[in-house]
Amino acid sequence: MTPEEKNQRLSDHLAQFISEHKKTSLEKVLENRTRYITVVLEDIFQSQNASAVVRTCECMGLQDIHVVESKSAYSVNKKVIKGANKWIDLIRYKAKASNNIGDCFKNLKEKGYRILVTEPDAEGSSIDEILVTDQPLAIVMGNELDGASKYALQHADVKVKIPMYGFTESLNISVSAAICLNTLVPKLRQSAVDWQLSLAEKEFIRLQWYRKIVKRSEIIEKEFLRSIE
């Protein structure tokens, strides 16, 4: 039995412990999940801001969020995040001697992402002008105090800004993320781009979600795997 076949049998077994209503709801969410757009959080130091962005990303159907922790460690504010982190994949680049943001960009580039770095610069492209093409998009959000790092700005494919018409020159990071996603995600869904997860990705994520939904899933899984060996 291949690992894929074993996981499929395990998924089918765990499904027995989940209500039909819950499974229908899960499948609806899974059908709307995407990795075509992702968000990068660079050194966000306020847990409520990071948690608010994660919550927004999950609501908008994003599966992956990249968190760069060169100076500030990622932490969760449970009152803000409302459990949204259970359903997404968090790719963390933790503080170390090397260039964390560089490692993140390298990973994204290898996967074909076009990197958009948010910056309230007069020369930046408006988020409204960004087109959805056959190249996936990564939106980089800099920290609350300094914004995006020099490295991020220098290695961006495009610097983007949110049009503003008042005296204040910046928005809260969670608001910025929400505006960017609410601009790009509808464009993606209305496009001809194949933005949904692959069958293999859905099967893998479904199993992870089943494990989180089913009570005592670790014990049930262990007993089941022992029975089929």
Query: Measured between alpha carbons, how far apart are the two ends of the chain, in Å?
Result: 9
Q: Cβ(71)–Cβ(41) under 8 Å?
A: no
Q: Cβ(140)–Cβ(154) under 8 Å?
A: no
**pLDDT given for residue 97 in this prediction:** 62
Q: Cβ(164)–Cβ(64) under 8 Å?
A: no
- Cα distance between residue 101 and residue 40, in whole Å: 9
- Cα distance between residue 38 and residue 109, in whole Å: 13
Q: Cβ(42)–Cβ(140) under 8 Å?
A: yes
Question: What count of other Cβ atoms lies within 10 Å of the Cβ of residue 188?
Answer: 17
Q: Report yes or no on 151 lying in a domain.
A: yes
φ/ψ of 76, rounded to 5, equals -105, 135
Q: Report yes or no on 167 lying in a domain.
A: yes
CATH code of the domain containing 177: 3.40.1280.10
Q: Report yes or no on 225 lying in a domain.
A: no
Q: Report yes or no on 156 lying in a domain.
A: yes
Q: Report yes or no on 9 lying in a domain.
A: no
Q: Report yes or no on 17 lying in a domain.
A: no
Give the count of domains, the chain. 1
Where is 102: in which H helix or E strand?
helix 100-110
pLDDT along the chain (229 residues), means of 10: 87 96 97 98 93 97 96 89 95 83 96 94 88 95 90 95 88 94 97 96 97 95 87
Where is 126: in which H helix or E strand?
strand 125-126
Q: Report yes or no on 27 lying in a domain.
A: no
- Cα distance between residue 78 and residue 34, in whole Å: 24
Q: Report yes or no on 159 lying in a domain.
A: yes
What Rg value do the Cα atoms of the chain yield, rounded? 19
Q: In what order do the strands lie in the sheet with 64-69?
A: 89-94, 64-69, 37-42, 137-141, 114-118, 158-161, 125-126
Range of the domain at 183: 35-214
**pLDDT given for residue 160 in this prediction:** 95
**pLDDT given for residue 1 in this prediction:** 77
